[in-house]
Amino acid sequence: MDIVLSGIRPTGNLHLGNYLGALKNFTKMQHENTCYFFIADYHSLTTHPTPQNLQGNVKQALVEYLAAGLDPEIATIFVQSDLPETAELYLLLNMNAYMGELERVTTFKEKARKQPQNINAGLLTYPTLMAADILIHRAHKVPVGKDQEQHLEMTRTFARRFNRMYNAEIFPEPVAYNFGEELVKIPGLDGSAKMSKSDDENSAIFLADEPEAIRKKVMRAVTDAGPTVKNSPKPEPVENLFTLMKAVSQPETVQYFDDKYNSCEIRYGDMKKQLAEDMILFTAPIREKIKELKANDTYIRKVMDMGKEKAHVSGAATVRLVREIIGFRPY
Ligand code: ADP
Ligand code: TRP
C-alpha cells in the first residue's frame, strides 16, 4: 500500500473550497492508502505567532479536519512538533542543502518580499523542513496544490542526494498526488475564480460559518443586471454562482435556475436565497461536528496522543536508520 502524506498549515479556518477541492478527497484516500496527515506547527513559526494563537490555530485545524471526516483510527493524524525527530532529520538534511538552491525557491522570494523585516533562516530552509516531514515517513505520494510543486521537487533532490551520498536506497522519491478528473475549483462569491481565505473575507464560506453569516455573504455575492437576450452566455460572476450551486444543490434546482436564466426570467435574489439555504444544509453536519469537537478537549487530546504515538513508530525508525547510515554508530 502506498504511503500518502500531507501537511496542513494551521492558519485560518477552512472554507468550502478547501473542503471540496482537497479534504473530501483526503477522507476517501485514507481508506485506500496508509495515510499521514499532520498540522505543520513548526512551519507556522516562520511568521512568529503568539503562543496563544499557535495553540488555538493547531486545535482549530485539527477540529476542522476531524469534522470533515478524517478518521484518527484509520489515518495517522498528528501535530508536527509531536514528532521532534523531524527536527533532527531537518538538521541532517540541511547539511546537504545549498544556499543557492534555497534562495532560488519561488515561495522564499515571495515571502521575503512580503515580510522584509523578518527574512529568517526558517523561511529559507522551509523546503528542507518540508522534505524532512515527507522523508521521515518515507512517503510515496504527497497531495499538494500547484504552489507546492517546487518544494516537492526539492524533496526529491534531497532524497536522491542522500541516497547517492551514502549509497543507500533509504528514501523513495515522492510524487505529487493528483485527484485525477475529480479536480474541482470552487469560485469565490466576489466574482473571483477561486474561493480563498486570503482575499476578501466575504468571498469565502467557511465550514464553521453560522447560517446567518452564510446568508449575508451569499446575498452580497456579485452578479449583473440580468440577461436580456435568451440563451446568452453567462458572464463570469454569474457562471460562478451556478458553479457554487452545482456543488451544493440538487441537480433539479440548478436546472430550474438555468432555465430561468435562459428565458431571461431569472431573479438573482431568489437564486441566492436558494443557494444560501443549500449551502447551510450542505455544511450543517460539518458545522455541528466542529462545535461538538471544540467542546471536547479530552477527545482532542486523545486524538493528538494517538497520532503522536503512531507517527513516532514510523518516524523514529527512519531517523534511527539515518543515524546509522551517516555513521553515528555506538562504539
Ligand atoms: P487558500 O487558497 O484559502 O489559502 P490553501 O492554499 O491553503 O487555501 O489550500 C489548501 C488546499 O485546498 C489545497 O489543496 C488547495 O488546492 C485546496 N483549495 C483551496 N482553495 C480551493 C478552491 N477554491 N477550490 C478548490 N480547491 C481549493
Ligand atoms: N508547505 C505546505 C503548505 O504550505 C504545508 C506542508 C508542510 C506540507 N510540510 C508538508 C505539505 C509536507 C505536504 C507535505 O501547504
Q: Where are the domains of the chain?
A: 3-184+296-326, 201-291
Please tell me the CATH code under which domain 3-184+296-326 is placed. 3.40.50.620
Which of 4, 11, 18 maximizes ligand 1 atoms within 8 Å of its Cβ, making it the mutation to test the pocket?
Answer: 18
Q: Is 7 in the pocket of ligand 2 (CB under 6 A)?
A: yes
Residues 40-46, mean pLDDT to the nearest whole number: 97
Residues annotated catalytic, as ranges: 111, 194, 197
What are the pLDDT digits (tens) for 66-117? 999 999 999 999 999 999 999 999 999 999 999 999 999 999 999 999 999 9
More confident residue, 154 or 9: 154
Residue 80 CA to ligand 1 center (angstroms) comes to: 21
Q: Which ligand is nearest to the CA of 243?
A: 1
Nearest ligand to the CA of 136 is: 2
Which ligand 1 atom sits closest to the C-alpha of 196? Answer: 3
* Mean pLDDT within 58-70: 97
Atom of ligand 2 nearest to the CA of 126: 1
**Is 11 or 170 the better-scoring residue by pLDDT?**
170
Ligand 2 centroid – CA 9 distance (Å): 7
- How many whole angstroms from 195 Cα to the centroid of ligand 1? 8
Q: Read off the C-alpha cell for 278.
A: 443549500
**Fold designation for 201-291:** Tyrosyl-Transfer RNA Synthetase (1.10.240)
Which atom in ligand 2 lies closest to the alpha carbon of residue 139? 14
Q: Can you tell me the mean pLDDT for 159-179?
A: 95
pLDDT tier for residue 178 given thresholds of 50, 70 and 90: confident
Q: What is the pLDDT of residue 180?
A: 61
pTM: 0.92
pLDDT at position 200 = 75
Digit-coded pLDDT (tens) for 225-272: 999 999 999 999 999 999 999 999 999 999 999 999 999 999 999 999
Summarised one tens digit per residue, pLDDT across range 202-226 is: 899 999 999 999 999 999 999 999 9
CA 194 to centroid of ligand 1, rounded, Å = 8
* Distance in angstroms (rounded) separating the CA atoms of residues 279 and 244: 9
Average pLDDT of the segment spanning 170-197: 86
Burial class of residue 69 (count of CB atoms within 10 Å of its CB; 0-12, 13-18, 19+): middle
Residue from 37, 148, 178, 196 to probe ligand 2 pocket by mutation (most atoms less than 8 Å from CB): 148
> In 3D, which of 112, 128, 131 has the Cα closest to residue 120?
112
User: Which pLDDT score is estimated for 184?
Assistant: 82
Tens of pLDDT, residues 129-150: 999 999 999 999 999 888 899 9
What is the model's pLDDT at position 201?
78
Cα–Cα dist 305/227, whole Å: 57
Confidence at 315, pLDDT banded by 50, 70, 90: very high
- Which alpha helices (DSSP H) does the chain contain, by range? 16-18, 24-32, 41-44, 51-67, 85-94, 99-103, 106-114, 121-124, 126-135, 149-165, 211-219, 236-248, 251-262, 268-294, 297-326
- Counting residues of the chain whose pLDDT is more than 70, the rounded percentage is 98
